[in-house]
Amino acid sequence: MKAALIYGSCTGRTEYVAEQIVEALKPEVELELVDVHKIKPEDLPGWDFILCGIPTWDVGELEYGWHDVYVKLDDVDMTNVSVAMFGLGDQATYVDTYQDAMGILYEKLVERGATGGIAFTSTDTHVFEESKGVIEGQFCGLALDEDNQEDLTESRIEEWANALKAQWPEITARAEQAAG
């Protein structure tokens, strides 16, 4: 099974969190760590599983590298790829766009055929008004706020990593079935 954590990072925070997540998932889940700036959209179907790391940038926008991938995704078939998400955002300053980038990217990947619904998380310990990252009452992945709740990052990663590990046998079986 070919699996990667692909991240985009403008300030280095998302990359730092990506490294923490890769370690938290070991040994059950082994992920190649990939900077989104080093891939093209057509590379994505080469993985069976992709964990996407994306900060919400500016006001509700995608990080630059993910934006470049996003605008060219309409011609990419993601049918045999499972996707999970983690996002960074600032819930105090951007109460109307908190975790929007995670939701925008997730929706596009699922629209292109990717299997989602992996390791969604509760919104309970976050304070915001609106978010495109909320799907059916939960965040569509791990939502982190390194600006206002940095003290919760480690425990959130650990809890979320355990949830992903619990779903890993199902994800692996899906990839094996797709491979035929």
CATH number of the CATH domain containing 125: 3.40.50.360
Question: What's the pLDDT band for 156 if we cut at 50, 70, 90?
Answer: very high
Q: Which domain range does residue 59 map to?
A: 3-179
- Hunting for tokens 């909320």 — which residue is that? 134
Q: Using DSSP, state whether 15 is helix, strand or coil.
A: helix
The number of distinct structural domains making up the chain is 1
The pTM of the full predicted model, rounded to 2 decimals, is 0.96
Residue pair 76/110 in contact (Cβ under 8 Å)? The answer is no
- Residues 46-88 have pLDDT tens digits of 999 999 999 998 888 899 999 999 999 999 999 999 999 999 9
Peptide bond preceding 169: is omega within 30 degrees of 0, i.e. cis? no
- Residues 79-127 have pLDDT tens digits of 999 999 999 999 999 999 999 999 999 999 999 999 999 999 999 999 9
